[in-house]
Chains A and B, each alone.
Chain A
Amino acid sequence: KAGVTQTPRYLIKTRGQQVTLSCSPISGHRSVSWYQQTPGQGLQFLFEYFSETQRNKGNFPGRFSGRQFSNSRSEMNVSTLELGDSALYLCASGSGEVNGELFFGEGSRLTVL
């Protein structure tokens, strides 16, 4: 069974640009969550999508957005990039069960110059 796939794995952007990250969950999983991981803050929750609907949202500015498609694949977008957005963005796949196990991808490492 294939795991969670995130693309791209690495990317470099400059301030003011925008970026789109993609996540393909485990087959059959309907929940996709996104987390931002930085050395100082650990893992911070961005949002969760379940059956194409945003089920939960963290405390990030509106520059961070996401969506989920009918095949459960998800994308997140960050507009008007800032230096502080440099981080590892992790996608986690789940069955959709409340408080179920999360299966994380290896992440997309974003560097903003």
Chain B
Amino acid sequence: GENVEQHPSTLSVQEGDSAVIKCTYSDSASNYFPWYKQELGKGPQLIIDIRSNVGEKKDQRIAVTLNKTAKHFSLHITETQPEDSAVYFCAASENTGNQFYFGTGTSLTVIP
């Protein structure tokens, strides 16, 4: 089955700096890569996603890049704010429904 690895496990940045989280996957059949944000005591929430026919996608301060050849994808957050502090999960999926393989998460702390 698919194996998704995520780094780093913890990340601290100063407010206004950028944060980058990286993930790798093993199954070349995976073609959908969402990113979820989980705040304390809440369920994960989708923040951005990318499909295999696209190399980069941007939504305001958040961007995701995908390198299918190398089987890795990354989340970039610019101009970080304290409310960006949360745990971020990457995931990968094939066209089989809603079966997602998640990374182990990155705890991001933005220091005011």
Interface of A toward B, CB cutoff 8 Å? 4, 31, 33, 35, 40-45, 48, 50, 55-56, 58-59, 90, 92, 94, 98-102, 104-107
Contact = CB atoms under 8 A, between A and B. Distances in A.
A50 B100 contact: no
Contact of A56 (B42, B96, B104, B105): B96
Contact of B97 (A40, A98, A104, A107): A98
Contacts of A35: 102
A40 B9 CA distance: 11
Contacts of A104: 36, 43-45
B99 A48 contact: yes
Interface of B: 1, 31-32, 34, 36, 41-46, 49, 51, 89, 91, 93, 95-105
For the residues of B in contact with A, the DSSP-based class is loop
A55 B94 CA distance: 13
A41 B103 CA distance: 9
A87 to B, nearest CB: 14
Contacts of B99: 33, 45, 48, 56, 58
Given A31-B97, A40-B104, A98-B98, 17 more contacts: A31-B98, A33-B100, A35-B102, A43-B89, A55-B97, A56-B98, A90-B44, A98-B96, A99-B31, A99-B32, A99-B98, A100-B98, A102-B34, A102-B36, A102-B46, A104-B36, A106-B43
